[in-house]
Amino acid sequence: MKHLLSTKGLGRAEAIGLLDIAEDMADVANREVKKLPTLRGKTVVNLFFEDSTRTRISFEAAAKRLSADVINFSAKGSSVSKGESLKDTAQTLAAMGADGVVIRHPASGAPEVLAASGWIDAGIINAGDGTHEHPTQALLDAFTIRRRLHGTASRGTGLDGVRVTIVGDVLHSRVARSNLWLLTTLGAEVTFVAPPTLLPMDMSGWPAAVGFDLDAAIAAKPDVIMMLRIQAERMNAAFFPNSREYSRRWGLDDVRFARLAPASIVMHPGPMNRGLEISSEAADSAASTVLEQVANGVSVRMAALYLLMSGDREDS
């Protein structure tokens, strides 16, 4: 693997291969010394054009566990904020010897521009670009589902026939998009449930069922229900009446949670708005995978950094 830019472009074998390596990485977390020497002498730059402490420290922990050096580059207050082009920033990082770049950017497509440009030879990982993709989030979600379903015997398997319902602000969510592509590639069936104002106008080509009624979706007994985070800043943007109304119609409250099938799992990418899109009872239940998702995030990011930065990196 040369870059990790999207899940849309990820083949099934490649995706399963990455998840299998993440299983190996998860084992490292149980060792007394949780460090591998794999990336010693390599430098990972966290190039964040948007604040995201959770994602940044997950990548930072993953890189350090592989013995890489980490340099945090926040675009705020830097020459980038003074109008330096992405090209000049990228070439500068390349010249400084960056072996991997984890990029978070408000513009959809920025990581692909970076990877296609030839400005930098380093492996590029998309850590969230606009409303486009957030591939490591989808990979950690798939990893989490696979582990819940198959346990440690999950190596080599996909998610064939698993029914996943994703609920909330699909319109603005790169998490929803990345999950759609990856989960369907792995054989799962995806249903989106959202208010009409929070769905894209044109969903042609999206291999997803769509519904507007969360109660009906729950009555269909999905294997997985994934609640998306509501961004507070959308609240005043006329996408829905108010937070109480949203919670009443599209939140996973205690009543809806009780109607889920006993074996189904509840996911959330975090950070959660408890009481808005998800109740505390649901979030803290045995069905919830919220914290497993965080832990698996480090393993999946270790796998991605390993594939992109170790000597075994492929040329295409």
Closest separation in Å from C-beta 177 to a second copy: 21
Instruction: Report the amino acid identity of residue 62.
Output: A
Is 231 annotated in a binding site? The answer is no
Closest separation in Å from C-beta 239 to a second copy: 18
State the Cα–Cα distance between residues 72 and 93, nearest whole angstrom.
12
Name 242's Cβ contacts closer than 8 Å, sequence gap at least 6: 235
Is 184 annotated in a binding site? The answer is no
Q: Which is nearer to a second copy, 142 or 199 (CB)?
A: 142
Q: Which is nearer to a second copy, 140 or 260 (CB)?
A: 140
Closest separation in Å from C-beta 137 to a second copy: 14
Neighbours of 128 (CB within 10 A): 25
Is 91 annotated in a binding site? The answer is no
State the Cα–Cα distance between residues 7 and 207, nearest whole angstrom.
14
Q: Which is nearer to a second copy, 29 or 209 (CB)?
A: 29
Residues of this chain that interact with a second copy (CB under 8 A) are 29, 31-35, 40-43, 45, 51, 53-54, 57-58, 60-61, 64-65, 69, 71, 73-74, 77-80, 82-85, 88, 91-92, 94-97, 232, 270-274, 290-295, 297-298, 311
Peptide bond into 271 cis (omega under 30): yes
* Dihedral of the alpha carbons of 179, 180, 181, 183, in degrees to the nearest 10: 70
Q: Which is nearer to a second copy, 8 or 274 (CB)?
A: 274
Closest separation in Å from C-beta 55 to a second copy: 10
- Any idea what the Cα angle at residue 109 is, between residues 8 and 266, rounded to 5°? 50
Is 54 annotated in a binding site? The answer is yes
